[in-house]
Amino acid sequence: MSALLGPWGLLVIAGLLEIVWALALKASDGFTRPWPTALTAIGAIASFFLLAQALRDLPAGTGYAVWTGIGALGVAILGVIWFGEAVNALKIAGVLLIVAGIAALKLA
């Protein structure tokens, strides 16, 4: 799979799976709901596995920062949409800084 997608492709998918497991973690209500709990576990394992594969070819600091950035960005946006979390100018600025950081790390 690594040869097909390349390390950056694996990293993006790992980051998207981080969004999945983090949102499922919220929905699990402290691991009291079985389906979101199962999705949390499966998503986390898959996300970590793909991150590990990507880090075979990428610097650890860059890979980890991009992975967490994708997750933070996705969870921040979807948290507002799905869970009605508060949004304000500072939160928007923070999300834009995350995007800028991810772009800078990709270009570095």
Q: Which residues contact 27 (CB under 8 A, 6 or more apart)?
A: 33, 36, 39
Give the per-residue pLDDT at 45: 98
| Per-residue model confidence as pLDDT tens for the chain (108 residues) | 667 899 999 999 999 999 999 999 999 999 999 999 999 999 999 999 999 999 999 999 999 999 999 999 999 999 999 999 999 999 899 889 988 988 888 787
How many domains would you assign to the chain?
Answer: 1
Q: With contact defined as beta carbons under 8 Å apart, do 95 and 76 qualify?
A: yes
Q: What is this structure's pTM?
A: 0.88
**Cα–Cα dist 91/40, whole Å:** 25
